[in-house]
A and B are shown apart, each in its own frame.
Chain A
Amino acid sequence: MFTFRPLPWEYGIRNLLRRPLRTGLTLLALTTVTLLVMVVMGFVRGLDRSLAVSGDPQTAIVFSLGMGENLEYSSVPMRTADLLASSITGVRERYGQKYASPELYLGTLVRATEDAPEEMGLVRGLTPSALLVHGDVEITRGDWPRVNEVLIGRMAATKLGLSDDQVRPGRQLLFEGRTWTISGTFAAAGSTYESEIWCRLDDLQQAMKRQDLSLVALTLGPGAEFQDVDLFCKERLDLELQAIRQTDYFATLQKDYAPIRWLSWLVVALVSGAGVFIGLNTMYGAVVGRIPELATLQTIGFSRRAAILSVMQEGTVLAMTSALLASIIGYGLIHRAAVRFTMGAFELQIDSGTLLIAYGIALFLGIVGSLPPSVRMFRLSVVDGLKAV
């Protein structure tokens, strides 16, 4: 045990370079596998992130009773916002302005021009108080919408299948029988709001011939509790309201997407499994062709363990190089790529978590892929190995 002498590090590296075509093809296959894992992981992480950052624990959403989590179908009277703000103690206030945002929210067909195809877009009618409640929102271009104008979320173009040029300020969108001019764009720290189109509440109400709201978002001040809002809704049965924490609302959405997340993990497992077999196949071929060489190494005094370690070193170096290549490609081409999804759009996230998992899988491929051929080598006697010339 104390006299264990491994093969020199350079030996394994040189062996990889001795067969450039085989090494190159294996590298390509492992890079593809790792890249696929990264894409799927980036999808899961991006979806999670967009929902995770969308909620504020101090913000409550009040909407109509019996709607489940379907805010689009909710309808509450216009006076609800003022009533809630004045009745519930603890609603945050700044310079006399309560953090209560009346909102009309719907999914509707949107198009860029009269003859363009329609796409389902998410439209939210609100008042400037929305900027108090949705604190992460920042107008990145243009201004807050005036009459018949809309503010476009950073991801809305992806959601609507439009180019960036089609949603720049000054361009127009058509929905709900009106032509709306884009007044600017906004970002919201990667939340789902970024896939929405925002306009003035009264404009949207007029366009839809509605006088009600979908919901009221309330931000509570320090020391105030969500239970105050919940208690009010349960006590004032005549209003037929219910309240949910904004974080809980997005958590329920996240729960709805759990099957997709599980499916993504299954894809990761399948792709990784395929990768293991690619590695196995290649390493098997590599080792079988080198049995006499490895037997010779044992003849000149290197132990079997040293030979196996060298084979595993080759596999691991190859796999980790592929992971490095995949992360360069992934970060350069895939990171923050916009993806359309049912509830909007989000960006793929090649973040530290994704990289960690991808590198872990690559390491696993390298080690596990080298093991079976190494074990086969173990089972051959040195004499049989030398005879295999």
Chain B
Amino acid sequence: MIRRLVCLSALVLFASISGCSSKTDVETATVSPQPSAEGEKYLLSDAPAESQDVIPTLEDVEDGQDVVVIGRIGGDVNPWVEGLAAFSIVDRSLAACTDIPGDKCPTPWDYCCVTDQLKGAKTLVKVVDEEGEVIQTDARKLLGLEELQTLVIKGQARKDDAGNVTLLAHAIYVDPANPGQVKWSDLEKDHDHAHDHDHSDADETKSENDNDSSVPKVQGD
């Protein structure tokens, strides 16, 4: 009797352990979000010519000026405005955590490794309709966007008295290549974390990279 009980317990234990650890490919597979029918009209099939990065745009732009700006979605743990077609973009020269080899940041789009550089390199994009009103649908559903995607925004700049620039987007081109960080900037500052994450691999990779002249140098901590 006791032997049977022990066998049964072992079986249940084994089943629970194997049940916890096994994940099918279907479960782990990710599906890219698709734009809604309403959102299709705001998406461009070809990249607009002569786009400008976020930093130079923020430095030079005037209120009401037509702009074509390129940047990556991010700059915050939650770069989206829930329920509205509005989100933050960041200059491509800044390194997201995914641009740092070996970094395991769970929210790489918050640019936690370069928070001190975000000021002046981040702006809000509002997708507006013909009347200039922000569309009342979440940008992720409307345009099928995801964090860290590279976008070219065609629209108009709004600049307030405090110097804050908001882009009123009329059309958006989503770069399918999604090249990631474009310019490898000289990040001199140490990692300034808004949250904790494991950098053990990043440290190892960095020390390996220090000895490898072919790898562009990006400093984490």
Contacts and interface: CB of A to CB of B under 8 A. Distances in A.
Q: Do A and B bind each other?
A: yes
A65 B111 CA distance: 13
B35 to A, nearest CB: 20
A47 B22 CA distance: 32
Interface stretch (B81-89, B149-157, B199-207): B81-89
Contact of A236 (B76, B84, B162, B195): B162
A119 interface: no
B132 interface: no
B132 to A, nearest CB: 15
Contact of B1 (A231, A237, A238, A376): A376
Interface string A227-248: 1001100111110101000000
Interface residues of B, number: 22
B75 to A, nearest CB: 9
B122 interface: yes
B124 A235 contact: yes
Contacts of B119: 237, 240
17 contacts: A65-B76, A66-B194, A68-B194, A226-B82, A230-B82, A231-B86, A231-B124, A234-B76, A236-B160, A236-B162, A236-B164, A237-B164, A238-B162, A240-B119, A242-B76, A372-B5, A376-B1
Contacts of A379: 1
- Which of under 10, 10 to 19, 20 to 34, or 35 or more describes the interface residues of A? 20 to 34
Interface string A375-389: 110010000000000
Q: Decide if the interface of chain A is mainly helix, strand, loop or mixed.
A: helix
A172 B115 CA distance: 43
B166 interface: yes
Nearest to B110: A66
A231 B160 CA distance: 15
Interface in A342-389: 372, 375-376, 379
Contacts of A240: 119
B1 A234 contact: no
B195 A234 contact: no
Given A234-B76, A237-B164, A375-B1, A227 B81 contact: yes
A72 interface: no
Nearest to A65: B76
A237 B194 contact: no
